[in-house]
Structure 1
């Protein structure tokens, strides 16, 4: 064409590309079922905005149980609350008799065992008659006492008469003074005879009844128990000679085991933390028996070989469960602190590697993850996950743990 500038090859290519894009868009609009072109040519089409997908609600793991099922499973319940947790020092120990509750019954004279009323294993009360000795020494002492008492009674009567006569001016004062001195001497001899009987082991009640006792009983002396307890040794038989001249003097050994000692061995490095009055938890090795005692003695001396010290605690033993000679473990409470939430150790279970407790709810029990702290005497501190006052399953919690593995129980 005259006067027109020929089209460059670069412009020709741009025009052809644009035409191809327009043609493709027209074809897409004509094709049945194709989405309409909503954007400028050359921009990808976007669908309608989608609403945010709701997150799944966190479901609490509830084990549904009514009161009847709880009773059948024997699940005990308790409230979590504050308590004192102690830091304890565990040391080896042995049970020993309380030295104040051991009695060796011995004789203080020469004689022959005439009667034995108690045997090994018998439980006896203080003052009970264990047996009787036949002794010439006892007979002589009783006879001397009876003579001294008779002489004193007579002299006291004479002194009372002389006093009455002297007051009535019937006898001189010198006679009354002489009679009064004689009465003092007879009273002194009576007291000496009485003290001799007491030294031989005869009690006041027996002394008072000597004059009324049968003649054959004068040579007998009853052997009485000085304490209540159990006869653990009987060292003589009936007819045995006992007393002085290298003869057996010990007849019985009695032990009261209602309270025992716990003898502990504490290393010198641990001694600064141990003091009298501290609480001691005592447990049998390999057993379930647990008792609580109190430290009464910390020896200031160290053993030359072990460099350890002897520590003694008292332990009540009303049921005779703690036998002398038993090896035990003693845990001394060297430090204690008050914590807000404590539960029985039996209430804690492990589920999927986490420590949990089961909290009582209206429809059953809720599994609750908890963080534990210190432990002491069957109790454990809960530092988080549980509040004071909440009721939990405290024992027989294995059925609750088993219920978690059943499908649908946490719905």
Structure 2
């Protein structure tokens, strides 16, 4: 009886073992044809990486790809309100500049020192320091006996010339009709020629005294007035007073930078002041640049430059017009002069500036303004415009100057990037990263 029980127990155990093995075989075959769970696989791979000591920071390729897709979501109104300008990536020029100190000076070709060419007394000063002067404008007047005598001689020559001209024309007509002898006609012609020479000499003397040609031409009317006054027995004092007045005009347009005399001061004699005003045209100014001997061969006349004021953000373009061939013995430096337009008169002589001389220039196919580039996590980055805002894009930079950078990878020509106030986008990007970390 006991033997039968043991026999049935053994058979039952064998059947159970056979059923379990068949079940496991079926389960294994089913898994081979079942779809793989991606999440489970990913978690398993992550677990394996964690087990092997591999961390997220080791997946550099995956992070670079993820970093390139990072961006800042902004609407057009928000972009406009932040003052973020956008411009396309395009061709450009990289300029190598030599930075040198300089000082603004007056253009020596645009300075006029107004002299007193005659001996006299200052009777009128019409301009003060800083006043604007037009070319040909009367700026002062003198009372001068020398001018009165020269004008009187000229007026006398004009009167004599007019009389001799009348006699000459009459005698020539009579001689042609054989009414007057030829000898009388020749004497009249000689007197007429001498009167014309005296008139020309008187005019040249007035021009040498600094009297304007327009004032000289007006003396013909004064000559007629003098003749009428003499013929009528009237006094010519009124005419004489006008003859003594010597008006001085400005030869250039500009501003009064110096006034050298006062009202009533004697001028023109030896030991007396000979200059009345100094007028400068400051619409163009010079930049006096000091060039060390080592850099002298790198700067040429015709090179362009950009000047910057030390006390403000003002800049202006210019051009080198002179490089001295002589090196100063004490400073071992040479002098260079640049010409700069100054239409708004913001560059005042004596102002210290920095001159950035363009000594080399290269064209590049892909460039962006320096203001478009931000440094994020130690790498150069630009923000590319997208329909939803801006996308962060890592770029590689080759050559650059103070205004433009050459891009060799990261963006393509024609893509629009932010070129101003990019620090706002950098701040927004950092803010989003911080929120995501929490």
- Name the SS of the counterpart of 1:257 in structure 2: coil
Question: Aligned-pair distance for 1:35?
Answer: 10
The reply to whether residue 351 of structure 1 matches residue 360 of structure 2 is: no
Residues paired across the two proteins, number: 379
Q: Note the residue ranges of structure 2 that are not aligned, 5 or more in a row.
A: 1-12, 26-30, 46-61, 223-237
After superposition, the CA RMSD in angstroms is 2.8
Deviations 1:205-252 (A, max 9, x none): 111112446522210111111111111111111111111121111111
Contact 2:86 2:416 in 1 (8 A): yes
Question: Aligned-pair distance for 1:265?
Answer: 1.2
Q: Note the residue ranges of structure 1 that are not aligned, 5 or more in a row.
A: 1-25, 39-46
> With structure 2 as the length reference, what TM-score do the two structures score?
0.80
Quick one: which of 195, 198, 202 aligns to 2:204?
Answer: 195
The reply to whether residue 389 of structure 1 matches residue 414 of structure 2 is: yes
Question: Aligned-pair distance for 1:145?
Answer: 0.6
Deviations 1:264-305 (A, max 9, x none): 111222122211111011111253111111111111111111
Contact 1:344 1:394 in 2 (8 A): yes
The reply to whether residue 292 of structure 1 matches residue 356 of structure 2 is: no
Deviations 1:82-111 (A, max 9, x none): 122211111111111000111111111110
Name the one with the larger strand percent. Answer: 1
- Name the SS of the counterpart of 1:301 in structure 2: coil
Distance in 2 (alpha carbons) for counterparts of 1:111 and 1:301: 44
The reply to whether residue 170 of structure 1 matches residue 179 of structure 2 is: yes
For 2:290, the equivalent position in structure 1 comes to: 265
Quick one: which of 333, 338, 348 aligns to 1:313?
Answer: 338
Question: Aligned-pair distance for 1:168?
Answer: 1.3
Within 5 Å, give how 1:127-142 maps onto structure 2: 127-142=136-151
Distance in 2 (alpha carbons) for counterparts of 1:377 and 1:258: 27
Deviations 1:177-213 (A, max 9, x none): 2222211111110011111111111111111112446
For 1:374, the equivalent position in structure 2 comes to: 399
Quick one: which of 235, 238, 255 aligns to 2:263?
Answer: 238
Contact 2:259 2:277 in 1 (8 A): yes
Distance in 2 (alpha carbons) for counterparts of 1:218 and 1:377: 64
Within 5 Å, give how 1:52-131 maps onto structure 2: 53=41, 58-59=65-66, 60-131=69-140
Question: Aligned-pair distance for 1:31?
Answer: 12
The reply to whether residue 228 of structure 1 matches residue 237 of structure 2 is: no
Name the one with the larger helix percent. Answer: 2
Question: Aligned-pair distance for 1:362?
Answer: 1.7
For 1:160, the equivalent position in structure 2 comes to: 169
Distance in 2 (alpha carbons) for counterparts of 1:93 and 1:370: 36
Deviations 1:362-384 (A, max 9, x none): 22111111122333352222222
Change (3 A) 1:407 1:246: closer
Distance in 1 (alpha carbons) for counterparts of 2:346 and 2:400: 25
Question: Aligned-pair distance for 1:51?
Answer: 7.3
For 2:242, the equivalent position in structure 1 comes to: 217
For 2:55, the equivalent position in structure 1 comes to: none
Change (3 A) 1:33 1:344: farther
Distance in 2 (alpha carbons) for counterparts of 1:32 and 1:227: 120
The reply to whether residue 330 of structure 1 matches residue 355 of structure 2 is: yes
Q: Using the TM superposition, name which of 311-320 and 340-349 deviates more.
A: 340-349
> With structure 1 as the length reference, what TM-score do the two structures score?
0.85
Change (3 A) 1:142 1:288: same
Contact 1:281 1:377 in 2 (8 A): no
For 1:8, the equivalent position in structure 2 comes to: none
